[in-house]
Each structure stands twice: as structure tokens, then as C-alpha cells.
Structure 1
């Protein structure tokens, strides 16, 4: 039974890494990734041994994160895929890891932004120009920021504190 629990827990880091890679290479996070995280949460939560109260709290945090993400999307701070990934990750992490997740994501977002500003400053223009199309797009002046990368870093950093990982004792 423990092997199944750990296998289900591996879905989370695998999908957030895929989301980050998709975002950095295409500036999009496919809906199927967030949907798969939400769908996989149900069996992972049930098999983790988490109480119904803990699962309910995870659901409430996920809904709250979706509302926050929708607000950030409406303010044009993040993309729609980022908002959905943020909510799906918060669902998995639950309480009390949600605050650490937000802090880690914000710090990673700041570092990502500074890194991209450096990349777009002109110093790296010869390197960017000779790179693949996704690197040229990433290094384009005034380009978007693939915030899914920051969300994935925050999610992976706080995953061991997450409600399901704690419930299993991972």
C-alpha cells in the first residue's frame, strides 16, 4: 500500500516540473496539467490517510488560491495557466504549507524576474541570438515572464511540508 501512496505522491512533482518546462519553452501551461493535478489529488488524498477535515481544508485552500490567482490574472500580473497551476498546487499542499508555498513562489518569482531582466539587458544578446527559438523568445526585450517556473519552484520547495506528504509520513 505504501508503494501506491508514494507513486501517487510522485504525480505532483512530475506535473509541476512539466508545467514549468512547458511555460519556459512556450509561455503556456496546458489545462490538462492543472486538471490532472486536481483529478490525481482525490485518490492521493484518500489513500494518504488524511482525515476528511484535512482534505476539506485542502479543498478550501485550493479554492482560495484559485480566487487569488483569478485576481492576479485580472490585474494582468500572471497568465491564466499560472493561476490554475497555482490553485492546483495549493490544493495539494494544503494547510499549513500554503503560506510557505506563497512565500517561496514569490521569492522564486522575484529571482526569475531579475534573471530575465539580466538576460534581456543586452549583455547576453549574442548567446540569446544563437540559441533555440524558445531561448530567443525568453530573452526578447519586453517579453512575458513564465511564472509557472516560480510556481513550480515554490511547490517543490514546500512539497515535503504539504498536507498529503505529512499524512503519509514521507
Structure 2
């Protein structure tokens, strides 16, 4: 029963982080920390061995390093970098490759659609949104793309398959 935990918690936290980023342009630290903490409990319950868990941890730390570099360059927000690392931890190797590619596709699509909405959306829609999401010079909340990429790829992941099979 407990091995089903990742099937429930990961999608809920990722979806919540994406929505939170779209609404407030923030991803609270507790969200990526909760994802990492639940992974450490869920991975052994799902039957991942120590070598597999170690590889997942290496991927997560690598993603954190890459995310920090992207934050330093101004390409991502700090919350996005931490969420990227926490999600990458769940996918491990080679699953992180699909996660990164699908997230990049969603990121590009979301950016184009958001820029079009900013240009062509009716003023009442812009005024109804609770933050500056539709303002011309506002940043792009990349947590949305991270959540969409993670939710799309997760059903094909090793840990999802193990959680469903249990």
C-alpha cells in the first residue's frame, strides 16, 4: 500500500507547484523539499535498490547544479531551479532525459502562448488575473512547464511503474 505513495504525492506536489508559480510567481521551498523527502521514503518502498537510489540522487544533485547555474545566468527563478532538481530526482537516469526534453517543449509552447495572450487577450481577462502574468514585460513562470513536463513523463517512469505494480 505504501509503495503507491509516489503515484499520489509526486503529481499532486508538481501540479500544486505549477499552479502556485502561475499565480504568485513563487514556489515555496517546502514544495521541492517535500518532493525530495517523499522520494527518499517512496523509493525503497517501490523496490528501488541502493544503486538505483544512488543514481537518482546523483541525477538530482546534477540537476540542482545545472539549475543553480541557470539561476545565476537569470534564465530561471530560484524556485524553478529547486523544483527542477526535485523532479529530476524522481526520474533518475535515463528518465531525466525525457523529462528535460518534454519540459523544454512545454516551456516553449507555454511561452509562445503566454506571449500571444499578453498581446491579444481582452483587457477584462488581464484585469481578472491575480498577478502580472499577462503584463507585457512580466517574466515567464517556468514552474508551469516543469509541472507539465513532469506530469506528462511520470507515468512512464520507473518509480511510477513500481508503485502501480505493488
* TM-score where L is the length of structure 1: 0.92
Q: Distance in 2 between matches of 1:168 and 1:5?
A: 5
- Runs (5+) with no aligned partner, structure 2: none
In structure 2, do the counterparts of structure 1 residues 85 and 129 end up closer, same or farther at CA, with 3 Å as the change threshold?
closer
Q: Distance in 2 between matches of 1:129 and 1:52?
A: 50
Q: Alignment partner for residue 152 of structure 1, among 147, 151, 166?
A: 147
Matched, 1:37 2:32: no
Corresponding residue for 2:137?
A: 142
Q: Distance in 1 between matches of 2:50 and 2:159?
A: 12
Q: Distance in 2 between matches of 1:153 and 1:43?
A: 24
User: CA shift at 1:9, angstroms?
Assistant: 2.8
Matches within 5 A, 1:118-133: 118-121=116-119, 123-133=120-130
Number of residue-to-residue matches in the alignment: 165
* TM-score where L is the length of structure 2: 0.94
Q: Alignment partner for residue 7 of structure 1, among 5, 12, 26?
A: 5
In structure 2, do the counterparts of structure 1 residues 7 and 167 end up closer, same or farther at CA, with 3 Å as the change threshold?
closer
Residues 7, 163 of structure 2: 8 Å contact kept: no
Larger deviation, residues 156-165 vs 105-114: 156-165
User: CA shift at 1:169, angstroms?
Assistant: 5.1
SS at match of 1:158: helix
Matches within 5 A, 1:4-153: 4-121=2-119, 123-134=120-131, 137-153=132-148
